[in-house]
């Protein structure tokens, strides 16, 4: 099929989707050349044919691939990057689980209903409640499913901001690689084929509009958008899009959040752009909540990406330390509020010239005892050590007496079991009496996109104009929108990715196959 035939077949769809869903200027603003969806007129042969093709190899993609293989499907995973795993390999490996065995061992009372309530509160009520419940109901069973492939959790439960009880299990490596690597190993053992440096360029549909595959560039280099050899991939039952968010796509995110300039770097890998999202939109997919872009409040301006500060802060500073304004030595927000509230408070703290005033988060040796990144943070001078509070104040030019009074006040709140300043939950809090002290500067980074394509409870992508599902097109994980509403709670990305990836796989396995010709 010629390019002109293909363009003619989808011209009307292109006009409807881009104009209605993304704004006319979206494509021009990002500088991306979009390939239009292509109808498979003439029954043209495919270079490769499988039952199911998964695009993306993070938590959602690999969970979908393994589950689909368990359902008896032939499965291919493609990823445009030179390594598998996407952002998932570089995240903290923390999963929110309602009703885990470790919670029960520790005497922590939790429930699916409480997790739903916490996520609704954080999401400011904007959540897709049906999908939210679907995720929360399957976290405990999915954690056990992961353990079956060799995932190992730390033997304690963490309390992340916005959760009303401790419910976070973290891979013992403090990295998502502790989950991705076992999933890749399991996928390979089950016969899943995997191709990296393979970029989806445009979908291929049959005469009914059903997605039956896509055009791709193989041997692609993400830093050279047009590089690679063109190939056609066929999917007899459909395609699962697990392509993540667009945190690194500054032009696209500024269409929806103009203030998110290059002043804000990202925790995402360099290929985290909106290309795959745009291809779904060209098919008519309904994009929701694209302006809801999360900033991670636990990062530091003194290093790139997640770095060492993130794990130090999530396991040390926030639950077992305090955060202060260096000008006053005083706390100015609840360290266990949800991410949106904390990031907003940090971003708003500026000097008279509008420049950021980086807050100082710190804890003592007891509070930092489980921070696996402490040694590396000290080595690269991101985390600083002080023997006493006077030295700590001197390191960051803080008023020493005010700082010491703040610490004394904090210790009183812990003893009385009530934070009189900001109402922070104190279940994991400790008195800060003895040094040495460990501290970091903080500044948020773009971390997660709550927005994406709208899906139904079968993880089928829904069309903007009809609200009906697009045959053959599924999506899971961060590529979807609505589950988290306005703000995602920590640990809920892995929960969402694993649960919705498996959900998509189970449902696609039950679809009828189409007959495809292989070259």
- CA count, 13 A, side-chain hemisphere, 459: 32
CB atoms within 10 A of CB 261: 10
Helix H or strand E segment including 263: none
Task: List pLDDT tens digits, range 205-218.
Answer: 999 999 999 999 99
Same domain, 154 and 274: yes
DSSP 281: H
* Residue 462 domain-assigned (yes or no): yes
Alpha-carbon dihedral angle through residues 434, 435, 441, 443, given to the nearest 10 degrees: -40
Same domain, 388 and 371: yes
Same domain, 302 and 282: no
Q: What does the angle CA 305 – CA 311 – CA 312 come to, to the nearest 5 degrees?
A: 115
Sign of dihedral through CA atoms 56, 59, 62, 67?
A: negative
Residues contacting residue 65 through CB under 8 Å, at least 6 positions apart? 52, 54, 57, 75, 77, 183, 187, 192, 501, 505
Same domain, 365 and 304: yes
In which domain, by residue range, is 204 found? 48-294+448-510
Same domain, 236 and 98: yes
Please state, for a pLDDT cut of 70, what percent of the chain lies above it. 92
What is the average pLDDT across 108-125? 96
Average pLDDT, the chain: 92
Domain C-terminal end among 390, 420, 443: 443
Task: List pLDDT tens digits, range 410-423.
Answer: 999 999 999 999 99
Provide the CATH number for the domain around residue 82.
3.50.50.60
DSSP 330: E
- Quote the number of domains for the chain: 2
Domain C-terminal end among 408, 443, 478: 443
Query: How far is residue 449's CA from residue 252's CA, in Å, rounded to a whole number?
Result: 12
pLDDT at 18 over 70: no
Task: List pLDDT tens digits, range 465-487.
Answer: 999 999 999 999 999 999 999 99
Residues contacting residue 487 through CB under 8 Å, at least 6 positions apart? 122, 123, 124, 162, 292, 294, 338, 339, 340, 341, 450
Nearest to 260 by CA among 29, 449, 448, 446: 446
Burial (Cβ within 10 Å: 0-12, 13-18, ≥19) of residue 409 = middle
Query: How far is residue 5's CA from residue 367's CA, in Å, rounded to a whole number?
Result: 64
Nearest to 455 by CA among 289, 268, 206: 289
Confidence at residue 161, expressed as pLDDT on a 0 to 100 scale: 86
What is the average pLDDT across 314-342? 95
* Residue 56 domain-assigned (yes or no): yes
* Residue 471 domain-assigned (yes or no): yes
DSSP per-residue codes, 82-147: SSTTGGGGGS--EEE-TT-HHHHHTT----HHHHHHHHHHHTTT-S-HHHHHHHHHTHHHHHHHHH
pLDDT at 7 over 50: no
pTM, entire model: 0.86
pLDDT at 518 over 80: yes
Confidence at residue 2, expressed as pLDDT on a 0 to 100 scale: 44
Task: List pLDDT tens digits, range 232-287.
Answer: 999 999 999 999 999 999 999 999 999 898 888 999 999 999 999 999 999 999 99
pLDDT at 498 over 90: yes
Tokens of 192: 């899943």
Query: How far is residue 88's CA from residue 66's CA, in Å, rounded to a whole number?
Result: 16
The arrangement of strands across the sheet holding 437-441 comes to 330-331, 322-325, 360-364, 437-441, 384-386
Provide the CATH number for the domain around residue 374.
3.90.700.10
Phi, psi of 88 (to 5 degrees): -60, -35
* Residue 376 domain-assigned (yes or no): yes
Confidence at residue 41, expressed as pLDDT on a 0 to 100 scale: 58
Active site residues: 339
* Residue 475 domain-assigned (yes or no): yes
* Residue 389 domain-assigned (yes or no): yes
DSSP per-residue codes, 443-485: --EEEEE--EE-B-TT-EEEBTTT-SEEEEEEE-GGGB-SSST
Task: List pLDDT tens digits, range 151-200.
Answer: 999 999 999 988 999 999 999 998 999 999 999 999 999 999 999 999 99
Same domain, 343 and 478: no
Q: How far is CA 191 from the centre of its chain?
A: 27
Task: List pLDDT tens digits, range 23-68.
Answer: 434 443 444 556 677 777 557 899 999 999 999 999 999 999 999 9
Alpha-carbon dihedral angle through residues 67, 59, 123, 471, given to the nearest 10 degrees: -50
* Residue 87 domain-assigned (yes or no): yes
Same domain, 53 and 202: yes
Confidence at residue 17, expressed as pLDDT on a 0 to 100 scale: 46
- Place 305 in a pLDDT band, splitting at 50, 70 and 90: confident
Same domain, 253 and 330: no
Query: How far is residue 364's CA from residue 370's CA, in Å, rounded to a whole number?
Result: 11
Same domain, 205 and 135: yes
* Residue 25 domain-assigned (yes or no): no
Same domain, 305 and 252: no
pLDDT at 130 over 70: yes
Same domain, 359 and 468: no
pLDDT at 9 over 60: no
Task: List pLDDT tens digits, range 403-454.
Answer: 999 999 999 999 999 999 999 999 889 999 999 999 999 999 999 999 999 9
Please state, for a pLDDT cut of 90, what percent of the chain lies above it. 86
Domain C-terminal end among 443, 467, 492: 443
Same domain, 87 and 162: yes
Nearest to 358 by CA among 320, 309, 316: 309
**Location of structure tokens 């997919």:** 285
């Amino acid at each position: 099929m010629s390019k002109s035939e293909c363009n003619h077949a989808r011209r009307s769809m292109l006009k409807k989707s881009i104009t209605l869903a993304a704004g006319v200027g979206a494509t021009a603003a990002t500088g991306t050349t979009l390939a239009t969806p292509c109808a498979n007129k003439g029954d043209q042969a495919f270079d490769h044919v499988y039952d199911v093709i998964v695009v993306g190899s993070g938590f959602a993609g690999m969970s979908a691939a393994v589950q689909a293989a368990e359902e008896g499907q032939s499965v291919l995973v493609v990823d445009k990057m030179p390594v598998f795993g996407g952002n998932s390999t570089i995240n903290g490996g923390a999963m929110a689980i309602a009703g885990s065995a470790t919670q029960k061992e520790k005497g922590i009372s939790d429930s699916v209903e409480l997790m739903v309530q916490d996520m609704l509160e954080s999401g400011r009520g904007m959540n897709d409640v049906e999908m939210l419940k679907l995720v929360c109901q399957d976290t405990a069973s999915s954690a056990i499913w992961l353990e079956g492939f060799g995932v190992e959790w730390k033997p304690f439960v963490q309390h992340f901001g916005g959760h009303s009880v401790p419910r976070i299990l973290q891979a013992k490596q403090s990295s998502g690689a502790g989950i991705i690597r076992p999933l890749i190993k399991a996928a390979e053992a089950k016969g899943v084929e995997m191709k990296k440096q393979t970029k989806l360029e445009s979908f291929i549909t049959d005469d009914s509009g059903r997605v039956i595959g896509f055009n791709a560039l193989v041997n692609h280099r993400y830093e050279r958008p047009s590089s690679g050899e063109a190939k056609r991939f066929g999917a007899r039952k459909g395609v699962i899009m697990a392509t993540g968010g667009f945190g690194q796509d500054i032009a696209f995110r500024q269409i929806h959040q103009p203030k998110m300039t290059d002043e804000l770097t990202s925790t995402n890998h360099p290929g985290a752009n909106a290309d795959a999202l745009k291809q779904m939109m060209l098919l008519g997919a309904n994009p929701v909540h694209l302006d809801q872009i999360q900033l991670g409040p636990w990062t530091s301006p003194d290093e790139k990406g997640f770095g060492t500060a993130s794990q130090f802060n999530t396991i040390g500073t926030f639950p077992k330390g305090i955060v202060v304004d260096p000008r006053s030595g005083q706390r100015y927000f609840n360290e266990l509020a949800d991410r949106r509230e904390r990031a907003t408070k940090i971003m708003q703290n500026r000097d008279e010239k509008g420049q950021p005033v980086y807050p100082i988060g710190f804890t003592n040796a007891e509070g930092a005892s489980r921070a696996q990144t402490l040694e590396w943070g000290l080595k690269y001078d991101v985390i600083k050590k002080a023997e006493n509070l006077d030295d700590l104040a001197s390191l960051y030019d803080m008023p020493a007496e005010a700082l010491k009074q703040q610490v004394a006040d904090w210790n009183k709140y812990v003893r009385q079991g009530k934070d009189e300043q900001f109402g922070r939950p104190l279940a994991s809090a400790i008195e800060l009496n003895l040094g040495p002290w460990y501290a970091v500067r903080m500044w948020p980074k773009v971390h997660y996109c709550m927005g994406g394509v709208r899906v139904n409870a079968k993880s089928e992508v829904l069309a903007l104009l009809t609200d009906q599902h697009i045959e053959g097109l599924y999506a899971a994980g961060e590529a979807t929108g609505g589950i988290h509403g306005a703000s995602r709670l920590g640990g809920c990305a892995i929960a969402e990715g694993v649960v919705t990836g498996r959900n998509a796989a189970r449902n696609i396995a039950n679809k009828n196959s189409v007959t495809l010709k292989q070259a």
